[in-house]
């Protein structure tokens, strides 16, 4: 497979659920005049039901298989901004394909800030359901190492969506200039 030139690579956003990958991704896509793709929405379109119902009806393994298939399809498209579900990087093959074909930004939010968002997330995120706060904190901590596979980290604590998007766009422009 030919290496995709840096400037044409799709931008991939990773990070724990609810850190703002979709919201920030949409703004980054607008600023770069690119299409935005949300992998969870693509899975939802395929099944005609949200992830919570896919987990309940078919189980997590089926969800993860489709997640992988769709990400493999999308990674070969150029000039997109793609938001991944928070569990996608649990699969090493997904990490590898994204590292090889896209530019990956890790949206990093501390536990202290993240835990304030839990009320907004709990109903729609199957992996949080049935867990107490300690177990959710454990999941948060366990997931952090998988996000270390990235090209750039963005600290999102106390940052507005617009500020994070601007940071991503500015750092991309710099990288494109430096490494063109
Ligand atoms: C998941 C995160 C969700 C979604 C699914 C599983 C996870 O996406 O893919 O509920 O395992 O962390 P978001 O990160 O967009 O919430």
Give the position, in ligand 1's atom list, of the atom nearest the Cα of 60.
6
pLDDT in tens, 112-165: 999 999 999 999 999 999 999 999 999 999 999 999 999 999 999 999 999 999
Taking the C-alpha atoms of residue 174 and residue 56, their distance in angstroms, rounded to an integer, is: 44
pLDDT > 80? residue 1: no
31 C-alpha to ligand 1 centroid (Å): 25
Give, for ligand 1, the residue of 127, 135, 139 to mutate: max count of ligand atoms closer than 8 Å to Cβ.
127
Around ligand 1, the residues with Cβ closer than 6 Å are 17-18, 21, 40, 51, 85-87, 125-127
Give the position, in ligand 1's atom list, of the atom nearest the Cα of 21.
15
- The predicted model scores a pTM of 0.97
pLDDT in tens, 13-68: 999 999 999 999 999 999 999 999 999 999 999 999 999 999 999 999 999 999 99
Residue 85 CA: distances (Å) to CA of 13, 40, 125: 9, 6, 10
pLDDT > 80? residue 83: yes
Position 180 scores a pLDDT of 74
Give the position, in ligand 1's atom list, of the atom nearest the Cα of 90.
11
Give, for ligand 1, the residue of 84, 125, 131, 139 to mutate: max count of ligand atoms closer than 8 Å to Cβ.
125
Do the strands 80-83 and 10-14 form a parallel or antiparallel pair, or are they unpaired? parallel
Residue 12 CA: distances (Å) to CA of 9, 16, 60: 9, 14, 22
What tokens were used for 18?
């609810």
């Amino acid at each position: 497979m030919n290496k995709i030139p840096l400037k044409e690579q799709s931008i991939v956003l990773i990070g724990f659920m609810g850190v703002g990958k979709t919201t920030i991704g949409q703004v980054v896509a607008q600023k770069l005049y690119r299409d935005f793709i949300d992998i969870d929405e693509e899975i939802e379109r395929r099944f005609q039901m949200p992830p919570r119902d896919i987990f309940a009806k078919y189980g997590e393994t089926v969800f993860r298989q489709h997640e992988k298939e769709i990400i493999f399809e999308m990674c070969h498209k150029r000039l997109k901004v793609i938001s991944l579900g928070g569990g996608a990087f649990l699969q090493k093959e997904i990490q590898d394909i994204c590292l090889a074909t896209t530019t990956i930004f890790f949206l990093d939010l501390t536990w202290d800030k993240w835990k304030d968002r839990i009320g907004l997330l709990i109903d729609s995120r199957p992996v949080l359901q049935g867990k107490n706060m300690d177990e959710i904190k454990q999941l948060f901590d366990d997931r952090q190492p998988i996000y270390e596979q990235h090209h750039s980290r963005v600290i999102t604590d106390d940052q507005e969506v617009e500020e994070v998007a601007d940071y991503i766009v500015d750092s991309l422009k710099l990288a494109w200039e430096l490494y063109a």
